[in-house]
Amino acid sequence: MLKLFQERYEQLSSSLSGVDLLPLNEKALLYSTDFLRPWQDGLFLGRWTSKAIVQLLEATKFFERWREQGHHQIWLDIPKSDIIGRSELLVWTDSGGFSEILMHAVVWLEYCFVHQNQRHFPSLCVEKLRLQNPLSNSTKALLPGQNYPSAGLSQNAFALFRTMSSILGAQMLCGIPQYFHTAAIFSKAFSFIDPDMYVLFKAMKRDLLKNGDSAKIAEVSHLFETRRILRNKIPYLWPTELQAYVEDSTLREQILLSEESSNLFSSLYNFSVLTY
């Protein structure tokens, strides 16, 4: 576990632009918020019991949607973590006598240091989120990283983690999207913190999604994975960068690049697809 902890922060320090993520045990700043309440081993994020997590899932209508999809035997697993600040949640179902994952989340409590503002913000970071429906009969091609079709619960997940973030006193809800489609799906609420990536992503959506064609998100995500996306006619790989949702509007204006500036700078980039 210690190796996992060290590798996470070493890798992210060399990958992320515009921000640094710092673990709780690095006393970046002392906050008088509930964010720094004593960590309790065996609880999700040091705070919630399995019963409390069930209540949160019920409140954000996960169980209602799962039952609609035909899942009736559902149970939770919160694996023990030896790392303060890191928690994992697994939600299982019985599918034809086999146990299958409905939801898998790995989250961290940490500080996000924003270079532009030279400030540390207590954050809840969703490192991994898988939401799948093993009973789906969808004939659509799977998205990169999927074993089963999506369960269509991204809004429920946002509501869940937004609630947790608020209760914990975090100022940011963060994610590091591994794939283009993840960034695109959550972009209605989340924005890239790094100004350059903010501009690049705006240009990507303009050129590759034709300003909002959601039907093309899956196609573009696959094109990134097959290395067929070009930026200004040069091959471009999907980067490792941080997206964040900032609840406070004043703070959001201080952190994010303005629309006027992003529109100006996005004109410098052109994204296209390599054709054979």
What is the domain partition of the chain in residue ranges? Answer: 2-176, 194-276
Distance CA 240, CA 64 (A): 34
Count of Cβ atoms closer than 10 Å to residue 110 Cβ:
29
Interval 123-173: pLDDT, tens = 999 999 999 999 999 888 889 999 999 999 999 999 999 999 999 989 999
Distance CA 191, CA 252 (A): 10
Tokens of 87: 């928690």
Interval 63-120: pLDDT, tens = 999 999 999 999 999 998 888 889 999 999 998 788 999 999 999 999 999 999 999 8
3-state secondary structure of 88: strand
Tokens of 174: 């963060």
In what side-by-side order are the strands of the sheet with 271-273?
234-235, 229-231, 271-273
Count of Cβ atoms closer than 10 Å to residue 275 Cβ:
6
Confidence of residue 258 (pLDDT cuts 50, 70, 90): confident
For residue 180, the one-letter residue type is: F
In the chain, what are the helix, strand and coil shares in percent, each to the nearest 5?
A: 35, 25, 40
Confidence of residue 35 (pLDDT cuts 50, 70, 90): low
Look at residue 2 in the predicted model and tell me its pLDDT. Answer: 60
Confidence of residue 27 (pLDDT cuts 50, 70, 90): very low
